[in-house]
Chain A
Amino acid sequence: MIYEVFRQERKGQAFAHAGSVEAPNEEFAEAYAREQYGRRGESTALWVVPRQAVHEIDDFADELQKNYHRVDGYPLKEKLGRARELAAKSPGGLSAGAG
């Protein structure tokens, strides 16, 4: 049986996938994971998870191109340039603004 091992390098950090161990049961999996990923104090904690228990999702639909809830939905550079140009042309103030 294959167990995936995730390790946390310092407290508060995210657990990251480190590798896997093959073991006949959980007890051995724990012992092997400790040996391989923890014996030098390089990890503050490990997650040892049977491979089948990991459910991967890697297809993310974006049919409506919902970029309004992401940073890349707001490319301001071009608009800002135009706004600055406009402001420079009307030194009198904001009275002649555009929509």
Chain B
Amino acid sequence: MDAREQEFLEYVQGGGQVETDDWMPDEYRARLIKFIEMHGNSELMGVLPEREWILRAPTLQRKLALTAKVQDEVGHSQLIYRVVEDLGKPREQCLDDLISGKSKFHNVFHYPTKTWGDVGLIAWLVDAAAIISQKALLKCSYAPYARIMKKICWEESFHILHGRDVILTMMLGTDQQRELVQEALDRWWGPLMQFHGNPIARDEDPMYVWRIKSQGNEEARQQFLDGYVPQIWELGLTVPDPTLRKRDDGAWEYTEPDWDELKHVVTGHGPKTAERLELRRTTREENAWVRRAVLAEAA
């Protein structure tokens, strides 16, 4: 690392923020692009499990809420890809790499949504896990990303409430509805525990070293457990991990998440990966005429 890079590193570690036109080390730029692009991909792919349920949602109100949520998430991906573009990677290339499987998206969006219970659980707990990561990005050393995260977090807060409302409604319903929620929790607990990544020490995590992230993976997972396990328990649900407990020092103990599964899934081998990427590819082709029309009209 040369003197200029060292100075930059000290600047961001001291809480300094960087703008688009500022000089930055190549490694910092490359890591930003990879990380932010994956976030954009995840927003875009994250709408697919919910999209499948718009027509099957139980009431008109739920259909509208789900549609609004899908619109929000696609909007987030647009904002995020815009930030990636300013860093030097065009949106078209991001979409090419997503569809070809070259770039990644979050593990939780590679799984099927079997029942309406899954939809509620995703909206509540997957969004809760995501907002913990996203809130930590409000302090990202790359300022344009931190700024759009403000808007994104604001919208995610309503998504969590929507999810919790779906779950509460089901828990107040019939035994069969309560079973659907418990089954969904059983299915999603593993992926949820993998979501924040392996417990690499934050000072060894380059994303923390460059202050792209402001907390370590394990800190995020502990925050998730601390915030949401009590909320799960108070509804009479069972977390499918018999070793889960809060120690006297405040830290949560849990069964080691299946890191092999995480790796397998995010490298493109999840149960729904191929099908959802194929849908992305065909819709992109089908919608190409819209992009052409917009550009032609403007020209």
Q: Does B bind A?
A: yes
Q: Which A positions have Cβ atoms within 8 angstroms of B?
A: 2, 17-25, 28, 35-37, 40, 42, 56
Q: Is the CB of B294 within 8 A of A37?
A: no
Q: Is B298 an interface residue (CB 8 A)?
A: yes
Q: Is B261 an interface residue (CB 8 A)?
A: no
Q: A36-B78, A37-B151 are in contact. Are A22 and B85 (CB under 8 A)?
A: yes
Q: Is the CB of A19 within 8 A of B86?
A: no
Q: Is B259 an interface residue (CB 8 A)?
A: no
Q: Which B positions have Cβ atoms within 8 angstroms of A?
A: 21, 75, 78-79, 82-83, 85-86, 91, 144, 147-148, 151, 154-155, 294-295, 297-299
Q: Which residue of B lies closest to A40 (CB)?
A: B155
CA distance A25 to B296 in the complex (A): 11
CA distance A40 to B159 in the complex (A): 13
- Apart from A19-B79, A22-B91, what are 11 other A-B pairs with CB-CB below 8 Å? A18-B151, A19-B148, A20-B82, A20-B86, A21-B82, A22-B85, A24-B294, A24-B299, A35-B75, A36-B79, A36-B151
Which of B85, B91, B144, B294 is close to A28, meaning CB atoms less than 8 Å apart? B294
CA distance A37 to B297 in the complex (A): 24
Q: Is the CB of A18 within 8 A of B82?
A: no
CA distance A21 to B85 in the complex (A): 11
At the interface, is chain A mostly helix, strand, loop or mixed? Answer: mixed
A-B contact count (CB 8 A): 37
Q: Which residue of B lies closest to A43 (CB)?
A: B151
Question: Given the complex, which residues of A lie within 8 Å of B85, measured CB to CB?
Answer: 22
CA distance A58 to B165 in the complex (A): 48
Q: Is the CB of A36 within 8 A of B75?
A: yes
CA distance A37 to B299 in the complex (A): 25
Question: Given the complex, which residues of B lie within 8 Å of A18, measured CB to CB?
Answer: 147-148, 151
Q: Is the CB of B151 within 8 A of A28?
A: no
Q: Is the CB of B82 within 8 A of A25?
A: no
Q: Which residue of B lies closest to A23 (CB)?
A: B298
Q: Is the CB of B144 within 8 A of A19?
A: yes
CA distance A86 to B61 in the complex (A): 76
Question: Given the complex, which residues of A lie within 8 Å of B297, measured CB to CB?
Answer: 24
Q: Is the CB of B151 within 8 A of A19?
A: yes
Q: A40-B155, A42-B154 are in contact. Are A19 and B294 (CB under 8 A)?
A: no
Question: Given the complex, which residues of A lie within 8 Å of B155, measured CB to CB?
Answer: 40
